[in-house]
Amino acid sequence: MDYSFSPLGDQAIIIEIGNEINVQVQHNVRVISSLLETHAPEWMMEFIPAFTTVTVFYDPLLILYNEAETELTALLEKASEMKAPLPRTVEIPVCYGGEFGPDLEFVAQHNGLSAEEVIRIHIEGTYTVHMIGFAPGFPYLGGMSDKIAAPRRESPRVRIPERSVGIAGGQTGIYPISTPGGWQLIGRTPLRLFLPEEEVPSLLRAGDAIRFHQISEEEYQAMEGQKNAHNT
Amino acid sequence: MLTIRKGGMQTTVQDLGRFGFQKYGVVASGAMDPYALRLANLLVGNEDNAAALEITLMGPEIFFEEDAVISICGGDLRPELDGRAVGLWRPAAVTKGQTLTFGKLHIGSRCYLAVAGGIDVPKVMNSRSTYLRAALGGYQGRALEAGDQLTIGKAVVTQKLATQEESWFAPSPSYSSEPVIRVTPGRQYNLFSDDSRKRFFSEPFSLNSQSDRMGYRLNGPRLSLSEKQEMISEAVAFGSIQVPADGNPIILMADRQTVGGYPKIAEVITVDLPLISKLKPGDRLRFKEVSVDEAQRLLRLQEKKINCLKRAIQLKREVMT
């Protein structure tokens, strides 16, 4: 496995695995992440996997930069024998259109499709979670069909409701918390992506495969109601 | 119990931050000036990481429903107990029924109020820090408002450390008005033009008013890459200096996102973060380059001093009992 190290300030080291996003690099990011989970060095505070890098935050009172390089080199030798954990597949139910997806018509018109065709194409795809970032539990997803790509809104919404499913350029995504944003909203999921009370506070993890399926508004309400009942 | 009479401009509960969850996109948060928070805690006999109040520009008004030992560290917002000035960087005793107020901002922009026992709010993901954007942690995930009541935790050290008038105090960092901030080169430092790299270190910058706990926006020479490049997002750190396409650098602070896609020209060294967090809009600053080795040597030296101080406080406490 090829990689290089560089410092990120005086408390972190970046392991760069490649300089473009591809399947092999993604695989190696996952191998290194799982190695850091299972063989967490005592001087490591935490790590952040991204598209082509894994950044290790360390305690500089316990280890200096050069020593961290040496120790990580030794640790990464194990990586060649390791396989990445099998990707999980997570099903995301989505209620498309209506008040949950006010921009579904725009995405359809923009691509010369009907709303039903946009939904069908969105559902057919299998998406990969490249990384979690931007907001708590927010997945950067790869794998959307160009046929339903759409530009961001000219003026961003002040508040996008949480669990909205949207499209921006060639990407699709789900908003775990309500934030301002310019994405075209096509639907909403009753599933919570950000779970602050859980040990793993994110429904999704880097490497997961995602599939969307369509639910009706009644099903949406039922699932949301059920979830609220659980919480009380 | 503390009763908040006025919330102040932005008073939040913070500890040293929420770590271990950044891989799930959870922002670290924590004190903007971790050094001042740690010292405030040590001075009242708390653990370094106990939760305290971060007070910004305009202080709150706080009514003490019980006796307490407090310490205020960081910028000077002219704190007073029942109209009598309270010294910074030292412990002070508060009696039940007293009111803590703050006056006009004098030095810096924020300070930390630690109470012996710590501010007792529920831990969320192992931290009591408030992250306002996601309404996470702290006191109901928000800044304090009039009428809020905060519980004080059980003090680690039960005996009193402070009388009302303490003459001794802990050394404070020199929060100068135009600080020279030491930085290590950023990951994309070499992608910047020769001119930009030169001007970054030779010219002053000033803090833009659009600065908050997430990032400090700077005005100064516009910085640019020698050739345009699309970056692939990667992790960022407290003190990363990103340069978006408009050429105005942003220093990422406590509430930074976990990853960023702008090129990083430099990284503020840990021991100089307090100097950054004390800046207020309009304040000027300059940058100076040091190596990572030097930054880590300085950090270890600072830690030695903090440990000496910890021991001194312990000895003082033994003498007083």
Band the pLDDT of A99: cuts 50, 70, 90: very high
Work out the average pLDDT over A103-129: 97
Band the pLDDT of A21: cuts 50, 70, 90: confident
pLDDT confidence of residue B160: 58
Q: pLDDT for B178-232, tens place per residue?
A: 899 999 999 999 999 999 999 999 999 999 998 999 999 999 999 999 998 878 8
Band the pLDDT of B46: cuts 50, 70, 90: very high
3-state SS, chain B, equals: CEEEEECCCCCEEECCCCCCCHHHCCCCCCCCCHHHHHHHHHHCCCCCCCCEEEEECCCCEEEECCCEEEEEEEEECCEEECCEECCCCCEEEECCCCEEEECCCCEEEEEEEEECCCECCCCECCECCCEHHHCECCCCCCCCCCCCEECECCCCCCCCCCCCCCCCCCCCCCCCCCCEEEEEECCCHHHECHHHHHHHHHCCEEECCCCCCCEEEEECCCCCECCCCCCCCEECCCCEEECCCCCCCEEECCCCCCEECCCEEEEECHHHHHHHHCCCCCCEEEEEECCHHHHHHHHHHHHHHHHHHHHHHHHHHHHHC
Q: How many beta-carbon contacts under 8 Å exist across A and B?
A: 135
pLDDT confidence of residue A62: 98
Any B CB within 8 A of A64 CB: yes
Phi/psi at B263 (nearest 5 deg)? -65, 140
Residue numbers in B near A9 (CB within 8 A): 184, 237-240, 267-270, 292, 295
Please name the residues between 71 and 130 in chain A that touch chain B, using a CB distance below 8 Å.
none
Top-confidence residue, B14 or A20: B14
Any B CB within 8 A of A36 CB: no
pLDDT confidence of residue A225: 75
Q: Is the pLDDT of residue B47 over 80?
A: yes
Interface probe for A, chosen from B23, B184, B236, B267 (most Cβ of A below 10 Å), is: B23
Phi/psi at A96 (nearest 5 deg)? -85, 150
pLDDT confidence of residue A227: 65
pLDDT confidence of residue A231: 44
Q: Is there a contact between A93 and A187 (Cβ–Cβ < 8 Å)?
A: no
Most confident of A3-12, A217-226, B242-251: A3-12
Work out the average pLDDT over A218-228: 84
pLDDT confidence of residue B164: 58
pLDDT confidence of residue B281: 92
pLDDT confidence of residue A229: 54
Q: Among partner residues B232, B239, B293, which is closest to A9 by beta-carbon distance?
A: B239
Work out the average pLDDT over B48-75: 96
Q: In whole angstroms, what is the distance from residue A151 CA to residue B261 CA?
A: 19
Averaged pLDDT of chain A: 92
Residue numbers in B near A8 (CB within 8 A): 187, 235-237, 240, 264, 267
Distance, in angstroms, between A191 CA and closest chain B CA?
Answer: 16
| Residues ≥6 apart with Cβ < 8 Å to A160 | A166, A175, A178, A179, A180, A181, A183, A185
Phi/psi at A14 (nearest 5 deg)? -100, 125
A171 burial level (CB within 10 Å; 0-12, 13-18, 19+): middle
Give the CB-side neighbour count of residue A186, counting CA atoms within 13 A.
Answer: 33
Band the pLDDT of A232: cuts 50, 70, 90: very low
Q: pLDDT for B270-313, tens place per residue?
A: 999 999 999 999 999 999 999 999 999 999 999 999 999 999 88
Band the pLDDT of B158: cuts 50, 70, 90: low
Work out the average pLDDT over A101-122: 97
Report helix, strand or coil for A176: coil
Q: What angle do CA A63, B259, A163 make, to 5 degrees?
A: 135
Interface probe for A, chosen from B19, B234, B272, B297 (most Cβ of A below 10 Å), is: B234
Any A CB within 8 A of B232 CB: yes
Chain A's closest residue to B135, CA to CA, is A177
Band the pLDDT of B163: cuts 50, 70, 90: low
pLDDT confidence of residue B161: 59
Work out the average pLDDT over A75-89: 86
pLDDT over 70 percentage in chain B? 95
Among B150, B216, B109, B218, CA closest to B13: B150
**How many other C-beta atoms can be found within 10 angstroms of the C-beta atom of residue B154?**
9
Band the pLDDT of B166: cuts 50, 70, 90: low
Q: Is the pLDDT of residue A111 over 80?
A: yes
Averaged pLDDT of chain B: 93
Any A CB within 8 A of B242 CB: no
Q: Is the pLDDT of residue A79 over 90?
A: no
Most confident of A155-159, A169-173, B282-286: B282-286
Task: Enter the ipTM.
Answer: 0.94
pLDDT confidence of residue B287: 98
pLDDT confidence of residue A182: 86
